Amino acid sequence: MIKHASHGLPITKPAAAFGLRQLLDELGMLMDAFPDLRDAFDPDELPLEFILKRDSQAEPVHAAEHRGGRRKQICDE
């Protein structure tokens, strides 16, 4: 089957590339306008109530076990 070359393809390709470039530029400007939220505050600058509540919560026992490395496996023989 013979495929005919599209006459609109050479015209639309540069237009699509230009549109993509505009979108990427706009996205870059938006990313620069909004700072990274992880750097927006310091955990020690929270209100005193939040700090006291955060520090008063005990660490779960099972979380401490995972930090220690491998757990021993107990097998019943």
pLDDT of residue 20: 95
Residue carrying structure tokens 């089957």: 1
| Section 1-5 average pLDDT | 63
Q: What is the rounded distance in angstroms from the CA atom of residue 37 to the CA atom of residue 39?
A: 5
For the segment 5-61, what is each residue's pLDDT rounded down to a tens digit?
667 777 888 889 999 999 999 999 998 888 777 777 787 788 889 888 888 886 655
Provide the whole-model pTM. Answer: 0.40
Rg (CA), the chain: 29
For the segment 15-25, what is each residue's pLDDT rounded down to a tens digit?
899 999 999 99
Contacts of 65 by beta carbon, 8 Å cutoff, 6+ apart: 71
Q: Where are the domains of the chain?
A: 9-67
Q: What is the rounded distance in angstroms from the CA atom of residue 66 to the CA atom of residue 59?
A: 12
Q: What is the rounded distance in angstroms from the CA atom of residue 50 to the CA atom of residue 57?
A: 11
